[in-house]
Amino acid sequence: MIIKILGSGCRKCVTLAENAKAAAEAAGKQAEIVKVTDMAQIAGYGVMSTPGLVIDEKLVSAGKVLTAEEIGRLL
Amino acid sequence: MSIFGWLNDQVLRMQWLSDLVTAGVAAVGLDPASRLGGSVQFFVYDVIKIFILLSVLIFAISWVQSFFPPERTRRILGGRSGIWANTLAALLGTITPFCSCSSIPIFIGFTAAGLPLAITFSFLISSPLVDLASVILLASIFSWPIALAYVVVGLIVAIVGGTLIGRAGMEDQVAAFVRDVPVQEGEHVLTRGERMEFARDQVVEIIQRVWPYVLIGVGIGAAIHNWVPAEIITALLGQDKWWSVPLATLIGIPMYADIFGTLPIAEALVGKGVGLGTVLAFMMAVTALSLPSLVMLKRVVSMRLLLLFLAVVTGGILGIGMLFNAITHWFI
């Protein structure tokens, strides 16, 4: 699966990426983490507040740093 | 008045800090009345003051902001039109994020949801131009009447600018993909703890982003304050020169800086006899228009609409600058 982190590289996006990685590992899933920093692309997902989290092209959260457990439930 | 005046001097203008820094400068053997001592005093005092005010203000304002995420703002504005909707959009623009980098996602999100361009642009103009932190900083550096006047004219530019852009009937000048962007509904309701955390993160993030601009701004301010002869400044930007406002606006447009970095420059310029309107025009041009944000906006709107936006905002800034220069005696 592909997990995308939408954000312009702020601290929150880094944390979210780490949490997503931890969640995927905990769930034993093979996940590729992609960071999307281009604002037009980010907005293309309908996101107005970063960071956003996209799992397999589906936006699952915006404007919030989810914990690894919360991401785990979404995987 | 005297208690309010004292509070204003000590808390907002931090007179105690100025005195402390002056004493410190004297203690290391520099004469605060000399050029070098004066520059050092200006630099140290302004840097400390701006960082203290920034931290406190960003924390308080982020707390307020956490109640108005863009999704909620969009819902509040949805389905409205007319001058009051523009006013509401301009007002909501004052309590949304400081960074012009977030204006593109907001533009796309608003337009995709079907908000008219008039409303979206009122919001987009007011968002970087007027924010609560800059108003309080203006009050700290100049005075409350000037800060309030800045808010009022900033809102007027946003309201009139948005209305004019709406009248131009350019709804078709927006990049086609924008309308196909999915509209994400539903907002996350924050708990008290999350609001605290959000506000704290904002302080760290914004200070990390703006500190170089603040240092550069204060540096330039200190240089103007003590090294550049007043005659040169007034010859270029003096109140009696008709070109002072257009020149200040032209210099300010391509510059990309936070209002926090421009305030010390503004302070020093006013100290050298530059008109209040000229200085406000410079600050507005720096914050409302910048090359990076125009380049970003170009990706979602046509050249015609971009030029209209540029013309409307520039015109508004020029008008305000000249108006303020004409009525400066009301304030100082």
Q: B117-134: per-residue pLDDT in tens?
A: 999 999 988 887 887 777
The yes-or-no answer on residue A10 being catalytic is yes
pLDDT at B212 over 80: yes
* B230 touches A: beta carbon within 8 Å: no
- Interfacial B residues in 112-141 facing A (CB < 8 Å): 112
CATH of domain A2-74: 3.40.30.10
* B205 touches A: beta carbon within 8 Å: yes
pLDDT at B332: 64
**Which of B27-36, B155-164, B253-262 has the lowest average pLDDT?**
B253-262
| Nearest-Cα residue of chain A relative to residue B96 | A49
> Which of A7-16, B105-114, B249-258, B283-292 has the highest average model confidence (pLDDT)?
B105-114
* Nearest-angstrom CA–CA distance, B230 and B226: 9
pLDDT at B4 over 80: no
pLDDT at B3 over 80: no
| Nearest-Cα residue of chain B relative to residue A63 | B188
pLDDT at B106: 84
Beta bridge partners of A62: A52
- List CB contacts (< 8 A) between A50 and chain B: 102, 105
Q: Which residue has the higher pLDDT, B328 or B113?
A: B113
Q: What angle do CA B277, B282, B286 make, to 5 degrees?
A: 145
Q: B263-277: per-residue pLDDT in tens?
A: 888 888 888 888 888
- List CB contacts (< 8 A) between B71 and chain A: 48-49, 63
- Interfacial B residues in 155-194 facing A (CB < 8 Å): 177, 181-184, 187-188
Each domain of chain A, given as residue ranges in start order, spans: 2-74
Q: B169-195: per-residue pLDDT in tens?
A: 888 888 888 887 877 766 667 788 888
pLDDT at B87 over 90: yes
Beta pairing class for A58-62 and A32-36: unpaired
Q: Tell me the H-state helices in B187-258.
A: 192-226, 230-237, 244-252
